[in-house]
């Protein structure tokens, strides 16, 4: 079975989205700055490597996200659904699966554990990528995140959605640091979960 990865772009002051996230502003006020490194022209070769690893079908087999992340993101992900692999949405509202090209969004109403089981089964020996602060925090608290990849953007948002809210002390091992012209990519292995 593959690992559970958390892969997020984050401001220097710890936010993964700006204030007032909505369908009209999926990244909140000022939050679109967090993903500019993905679309920079010309792009940085190191950024391209990290971006390519995010959803490489050779490495990643499924995506796990919360309903809010799906709701505000689906309009931005295009006709192909952006991910090209099975996506599992943790929700308490039943819904018919949404298919966009090679991407299928399955809504799981039996809780986070069941959604994670389904994502892992779909991924097989590949990794599951986690999206969304709430789902990430729940998995971190219960020790089920193996690796955290942070793309730290040199901007201070001053407010919004924090990635590491409501967590206790957590020990991480720094595995890699790759600075580029637009962002610093930092990878951590989770040694011990909050406790």
Strands (E), the chain: 4-11, 15-17, 60-66, 86-90, 98-100, 103-108, 127-131, 147-153, 161-162, 171-179, 184-192
- For residue range 172-182, list pLDDT tens digits in order: 999 999 999 99
How many whole angstroms separate alpha carbon 90 and alpha carbon 79? 22
**What is the separation of C-alpha 172 from the centre of its chain, rounded to a whole number of angstroms?**
18
Per CATH, is 4-192 categorized as 3.40.430.10?
yes
- For residue range 77-136, list pLDDT tens digits in order: 988 888 999 999 999 999 999 999 999 999 999 999 999 999 999 999 999 999 999 999
Phi, psi of 35 (to 5 degrees): -110, 5
- For residue range 3-29, list pLDDT tens digits in order: 999 999 999 999 999 999 999 999 999
Map out the domains of the chain as residue ranges: 4-192
């Amino acid at each position: 079975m593959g690992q559970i990865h958390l892969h997020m772009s984050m401001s220097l002051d710890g936010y993964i989205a700006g204030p007032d996230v909505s369908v009209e502003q999926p990244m909140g006020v000022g939050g679109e700055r967090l993903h500019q490194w993905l679309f920079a022209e010309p792009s940085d070769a190191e950024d391209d490597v990290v971006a390519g690893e995010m959803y490489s079908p050779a490495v990643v087999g499924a995506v796990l996200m919360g309903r809010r992340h799906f709701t505000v993101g689906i309009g931005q992900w295009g006709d192909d659904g952006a991910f090209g692999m099975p996506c599992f949405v943790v929700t308490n509202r039943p819904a018919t699966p949404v298919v966009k090209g090679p991407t299928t969004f399955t809504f799981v109403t039996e809780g986070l554990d069941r959604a994670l089981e389904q994502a892992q089964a779909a991924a097989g020996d590949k990794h599951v990528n986690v999206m969304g602060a709430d789902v990430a925090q729940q998995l971190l608290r219960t020790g089920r995140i193996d690796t955290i990849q942070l793309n730290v953007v040199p901007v201070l948002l001053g407010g919004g959605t924090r990635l590491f809210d409501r967590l206790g002390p957590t020990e991480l091992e720094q595995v890699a640091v790759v600075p580029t012209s637009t962002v610093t990519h930092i990878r951590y292995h989770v040694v011990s979960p909050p406790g």
